[in-house]
Amino acid sequence: MKSFKRLLSLLLVISMVLSLAGCKKATETNNSTLFKPGKYIGEGKGINGTVKVEVTVTEDEITDIKVLEHNETPGVSDLAINDLPLQIIEAQGLGIDTVAGATMSSNAILEAVGQALEKAGANIEALKEKTAGKDSPSATVTEKQADVVVIGGGGAGLAAAVSAHQNGASVIVLEKMPRVGGNTMISGASYNAVDPKRQEAQGIEDSVDKHFQQTYEGGDKLGNPELIRILVDNAYPTIEWLESMGMEFKDTLHTVLGGLWPRAHAPVEPLGTGFINTYMNYIKENNTEMEVLVNTEATELIMENNKVIGVKAKSPDGELILKSNNGVIIATGGFAGNVEMRDEYNKNWPSLTNLKTTNHPGATGDGLAMAKAIGANLIDMEQIQLLPMGDPNTGSLSGNIEQGVENRIFVNKSGNRFVDEGARRDVMTKALFEQENSFMWVILDSHSYPTGDVRNHFNESIDELVTEGRAYKADTLEDLAKQIGINPENLVEAVNKFNSCVETGKTDEFGRTLYQFKIDTAPFYAGARVPTVHHTMGGIQINTSAQVLDNNGKVIPGLYAAGEVTGGIHGTNRLGGNALADISVFGKIAGENAAKNNQ
């Protein structure tokens, strides 16, 4: 019995010793350092190449993050580049939401910081669970008032805001995304307008009537002729309006994909930054009478006595009630980014469920839903435009190597041409769907890129695209064909036939009539493209004053709309280059009329 007691006591002692040792080990583990102090470099893959960061850590804290190198798109990626490092430091972790509209840039930063912290010996999975703390939204309701409230901070909304202020109104702009710009910011920014001075310098004959006819017939005569006439008559005066505020356009005009004529103006600043910067510079100069609220989502139009008098919205700080003295302008863009909605209305294409889009993430049709809820009439909703120019991985227009319609051809996976490359966008896209894997190559030569640092319409140099594997370069067509895996003989024959038509000026077998240079001067280039959802021609019905009409064709007092959220202008097919003209012209008209509204 005594022996048993001695054994039991010994076991208890051993158990206590082991327990103490375990506690000591646990304590040591909990007090262990999180990082090996120092500075570490990490890299991540962004939309335009590598993003490189430097992360500084102490034993238990991330103290600094610097973005050393990146080629991300100006304006689009700014919030990710500037804000994400601060959020990571605040959270002391990697469980940070990506910035809406800059997802790939955000992921690149998170990947780069994660790689750097891994070098510092961090537990990456544990860091991914740490998120930036946010105060819960206030339960209070904040009220604001202005003469004009604009829903949407893209090109149409900002044009309307500036125009309204120029006509004497105080203005509040609501933008649900973390930044202004919308689709305008990431567009190729080609703007169609008949411009005698610039066009005559290039030997281009044009007229406003021709622009009208091509727009009307290009949409199969479904567009409202009165709205189209407003568009083409005011396209160039609106360019002059933009120039009066400091915006600059290049002197040389071009034919944009599906534009049908060389009347497209290219801004000096890349992408759509010229438009957005012009408007925002004006707004900043007049900030006592103009306010822009980002991260603020409009949810409902406020009606009183059958008139729109304001907007309900939500922000990180709680609910907002925005009262308008004169009018509310809807400029929220289309619904190409809303898969469910485009599937609901699509009648003209194969399933759009799995197609990517060129649009920014905010293009989800919110304005259409708000307008419909108060009886606004929606027209042409089934008219959804696809482009044959999507990036195979993202659906975006970035990486598109073409510089103008006249100087490139499309070939399929066999190396054969299959369509008139100067045709309407729907014609080209339908032809692309009939090719193997709905896939094509854009082929051009050094006429488009005299040097490797020449940039496309998305501010990407051809050398950068080749380095990143998004374009291919060769000194011969045969070598180019081998690089991209197509039949060399077919490619050479396709180019030779094209060059023959350039020489003779004759219409080719596909009906092509737009030519400028032969494809005959090395280096030769190729870029891959697929169909992508681009523009929704349907939307809110408006009159020539940009007033919203109800289901009975009557004006809804106090409500205006402009831009892609509207329908009735482009018919079945929008001409390339007409969107920037549309949003600018009708944004300006909506702002002016809303400012003067006395209904």
Residues carrying an active site annotation: 425
Q: Strand, helix or coil at 191? A: strand
Measured between alpha carbons, how far is 577 from 295 in angstroms, rounded to an integer? Answer: 29
- Tell me how far apart the alpha carbons of residues 476 and 488 are, in angstroms, rounded to a whole number: 10
Tell me the CB-side half-sphere exposure of residue 129, using CA atoms within 13 A: 4
Task: Judge whether 309 and 323 are in contact, CB under 8 Å.
Answer: yes
Burial label, 47 (beta-carbon count in 10 A; 0-12, 13-18, 19+): buried
Measure the CA–CA gap between 564 and 368, rounded to whole angstroms.
10
DSSP 394: T
Spatial distance between the Cα atoms of 31 and 479, rounded to a whole number of angstroms: 61
**From CA 103, how far away is CA 79, in angstroms rounded?**
11
What angle, 0 to 180 degrees and rounded to 10, lies between the N-to-C axes of helices 155-166 and 578-596? 40
Alpha-carbon span 237 to 231, nearest angstrom = 10
Tell me how far apart the alpha carbons of residues 327 and 340 are, in angstroms, rounded to a whole number: 31
CA pair distance 52, 70, nearest whole angstrom: 7
Distance CA 105, CA 100 (A): 10
Residues whose CB is less than 8 angstroms from the CB of residue 599 and which lie 6 or more positions away in sequence, other chains included? 307, 557, 558
The beta strands (E) that lie in 399-538 are given as 409-411, 440-444, 472-474, 524-536
Distances in Å between the Cα of 13 and the Cα atoms of 3, 18, 19, 27, 323 are 15, 9, 10, 21, 77
Query: What is the separation of C-alpha 258 from the centre of its chain, rounded to a whole number of angstroms?
Result: 19
Question: What is the rounded CA–CA span in Å between residue 475 and residue 464?
Answer: 18
Q: Is the dihedral of CA 322, 324, 328, 331 positive or negative?
A: negative
In 477-579, DSSP assigns E strands to 524-536, 539-541, 547-549, 555-561, 566-567
- What's the per-residue H, E or C state across 88-140? HHHHCCCCCCCCCCCHHHHHHHHHHHHHHHHHCCCCHHHHHCCCCCCCCCCCC
Separation between Cα atoms, residue 525 and residue 464, nearest integer Å? 13
| Rounded Cα distance, 34 and 579, in Å | 52
Task: For tokens 């006395």, name the residue.
Answer: 598
- CB within 8 A of 516, min separation 6: which ones? 404, 406, 407, 447, 502
Distance between CA 542 and CA 365 in Å, rounded? 17
Helix (H) or strand (E) holding 213: helix 208-218
